[in-house]
Amino acid sequence: MADYRFVTVWQLRAPLGDVWQAIVASEKWPLWWKGVVRVEELAGGDEAGVGSRRRYVWRSKLPYTLAFDMETTVVEPMSRLEGRASGELEGTGDWEFSEADGVTTARYTWQVRTTQRWMNLLAPLLRPAFAWNHDYVMKSGAEGLARLLNAELIAK
């Protein structure tokens, strides 16, 4: 398996609560986040959402589709959202949120490994392309979120 660690920071001139709600409502991501093909709820969690599971299907500039399930493992309202991925990607995703002077920062740390044989075989050659693709998808998310919230995007 090939291991990857990506850190993305979005900064928007928007209320923390609005950014939090948009990220937590991932079933609506396909409406505003280019590259998210489908989000399907597989299991509900507790009242905070811990234990919920969703299947995500992503497609971007490179000619392949990725599907994986995310189980929510940590919910700290307006502060942190963490999940564990399984399927074509395995690992963890961790959103951290903060607000200062009217600017909300959403920091996403994605630590995953690929499970598809072809991706693992080609990782030594295609690692830069996979990283570029991740960055493209995340930039598209930042731009889509800014449009959704009618907010100024400061950093993506």
pLDDT tens digits for 16-75?
Answer: 999 999 999 999 999 999 999 999 999 999 989 999 999 999 998 888 899 999 999 999
Domain spanning 3-155, CATH architecture: 2-Layer Sandwich (3.30)
pLDDT at 106: 98
Locus of tokens 């950093």: 155
**pLDDT tens readout for residues 90-137:** 999 999 999 999 999 999 999 998 888 877 777 788 888 888 989 999
Task: Report the pLDDT value the prediction gives residue 155, as an integer from 0 to 100.
Answer: 72
Residue 156 has pLDDT above 70, yes or no: no
Instruction: pLDDT band for 143, please (50, 70, 90 cuts).
Output: very high
pLDDT confidence of residue 92: 98
Q: What is the pTM of this model?
A: 0.92
Q: Confirm if 14 and 148 have CB atoms less than 8 A apart.
A: no
Sheet holding 65-76, edge to edge: 36-43, 53-59, 65-76, 80-87, 89-100, 103-114, 3-13, 152-155
Provide the residue ranges of all domains of the chain, joining segments of one domain with +. Answer: 3-155
Q: Rounded to 5 degrees, what are φ and ψ at 25?
A: -85, 60
Angle at 154 between CA 66 and CA 74, to 5 degrees: 50
